Homo-oligomer: A and B are copies of this chain.
Amino acid sequence: MEGARPVRAARGTELSALGWQQEAALRMLQNNLDPEVAEHPDDLVVYGGTGRAARDWRSFDAIERTLRTLKADETMLVQSGRPVGVMTTHEWAPRVLIANSNLVGDWANWEEFRRLEKLGLTMYGQMTAGSWIYIGTQGILQGTYETFAAVAAKRFGGSLAGTITLTAGLGGMGGAQPLAVTMNGGVAICVECDPSRIQRRLDHGYLDARADSVEDALRLAVEARDARRPLSIGLLGNAAEILPRMLAEGAPIDVVTDQTSAHDPLAYLPVGVAFEDMASYAREKPEEFTQKARESMARHVEAMVGFQDAGAEVFDYGNSIRGEAKLAGYARAFDFPGFVPAYIRPLFCEGKGPFRWAALSGDPKDIAATDRAILDLFPENEPLARWIRMAGEKVHFQGLPARICWLGYGERDRAGERFNDMVAAGELRAPIVIGRDHLDCGSVASPYRETEGMLDGSDAIADWPLLNAMVNVASGASWVSIHHGGGVGIGRSIHAGQVTVADGTPLAGEKIRRVLTNDPGMGVIRHVDAGYDRADEVARETGVRVPMRES
């Protein structure tokens, strides 16, 4: 893309903006585009198919320029990756407000989105790409780890040892799968059509081995499984070919899922198309490509259903592949569940979700110190402690050092305040940026993923993410975003994000207390309203107010 250049966030305590809140936005935007972090930094693509951090390089320049001079009572407005205004607000207000990829309902389809994108009027923001809080593969590693742990708990006595998981996609999100499976003791075969992605995961230690053929992969997998030895294997190929073949050959697969970027049919390789030709073909004949991709997804999903029929644990991992397969006419596409109703909903009822933070100092020691703080704050939480310890050992930082762990209502604010105190006390070298994925307990409406199968049928109601965004703006977040389509594709979700900077000031402490109470609080009330008993319990125990229950 015109204007491309390497970008990397500054480290240390020298500011190039007028305050840490602005500096944090600047560094996190830059960090999203760090070649260590972003999948295609020259195109401003961070992850998830075409999830961008800025609309184009001119917009990127204007955002940088504006952030550098933005005052502590000013707010920059970003419309689909382009800065469109600067307004006088006040010191409790966010420094940046972001709305990405949003379209009016009747026009919320890929055709219209692409038309507008081609006109230079919008961009795809995914979840944390356009909201500047993507932290690399670790971001999803923990969620993936938790999900496979839940699979293990449900079906295999708490461990994946002695089982084989078959999945596909080793991109920004999917790349976490092999490590998450081996962390749970299992064996993973990961199909990927792009050899450079396989190499990247091998280089980063997320993937253990590469297989040259299906036979090779299965042989390695069965050996490791029989020895109850964790192993992850990358297999070059097209999932829509390999899965049906493995099914036909009766491969001994225990768990099946998928993280190809199926949510965007132009980013899924159709059968019969060479990987090298994919980009130009998608660009030149988008409609033909889309149709072929959908047909391949139908075969892919058909094989997944086949594995389920044969007894495997099968789930959709939030990439909308069932929806696309259904569009291609495959009737049983929704025969297996999404991962949220299957494993994540109970956590959401407790306001739990993907809490994450990054060290603006660039110093891994700052993350090590926050890791210790988490272990200290929540000594009774054994799975959390296990994760923090494993992550400390196994996670290769990409860009600014960062950490993620799932925390719930009443926990996030405590962690955030502790971090702010540590900055104030000089225990950390620089401020900490605290954010989360848009995939959170009360920040997203997405009937094929986070809100699939809600108890009261309210899957499609999109008031909640909008209230979530507004309450974060009203609580003192540093930047807040509302996006459309991330993860599952245009027309299929609305979601919101917030990032809050712990700069060690008392004001930041006040803001953190409110934001990190209210933000997960949205998850509790959303699930109380939908009739989940566990959410009701949590609300009663923790004093979350539900006006309809008062009298």
A residues near B (Cβ < 8 Å) are 58-59, 62-63, 65-66, 75-77, 79-80, 82-90, 92-94, 97, 99-109, 112, 115-116, 119, 121-122, 445-447, 456-464, 466-467, 469-471, 473-476, 480, 482, 484, 490-494, 510, 514, 517-518, 521-522, 525-526, 529, 544-548, 550-551
Contact = CB atoms under 8 A, between A and B. Distances in A.
B87 A464 contact: no
A309 B144 CA distance: 63
A522 to B, nearest CB: 7
Contacts of A517: 87-88
B99 A467 contact: yes
B119 A464 contact: no
A462 B102 contact: yes
Given A79-B463, A466-B102, A517-B88, A550 B491 contact: no
B462 A93 contact: no
A415 to B, nearest CB: 18
Contacts of A493: 104
A517 to B, nearest CB: 7
A523 to B, nearest CB: 11
A482 to B, nearest CB: 5
A65 to B, nearest CB: 7
Given A104-B460, A525-B84, A470 B473 contact: yes
B463 A102 contact: yes
Contacts of A490: 105
A31 to B, nearest CB: 21
Which 7 residue pairs of A and B lie closest in terms of their CB atoms, listed nearest first?
A: A105-B108, A107-B460, A99-B463, A93-B474, A83-B547, A105-B491, A102-B462
Nearest to A513: B88
Contacts of A548: 58-59, 62, 82-84
A102 B112 CA distance: 20
Contact of A100 (B445, B463, B494): B463
Contacts of A447: 104, 106-107
Contacts of A102: 445, 461-463, 466, 494
A86 to B, nearest CB: 4
A133 B286 CA distance: 46
A94 B89 CA distance: 13
A303 to B, nearest CB: 25
B550 A461 contact: no
A132 to B, nearest CB: 16
A314 B282 CA distance: 44
A466 B482 contact: yes
A358 to B, nearest CB: 23
Contacts of A80: 461, 463
A546 B475 contact: no
Contacts of A115: 457
A89 to B, nearest CB: 5
Given A473-B473, A474-B97, A546 B84 contact: yes
B461 A121 contact: yes
A548 B546 CA distance: 44
A13 to B, nearest CB: 27
A461 B103 contact: yes
B103 A462 contact: yes
A121 B514 contact: no
Q: Of A102, A122, A544, which is in contact with the most chain B CB atoms at under 10 Å from its CB?
A: A102
Given A66-B547, A90-B476, A107-B447, A116 B466 contact: no
A443 to B, nearest CB: 13
Given A89-B474, A470-B473, 7 more contacts: A65-B551, A79-B529, A87-B545, A97-B471, A99-B467, A101-B463, A104-B446
A97 B465 CA distance: 12
Q: Of A84, A108, A546, which is in contact with the most chain B CB atoms at under 10 Å from its CB?
A: A84
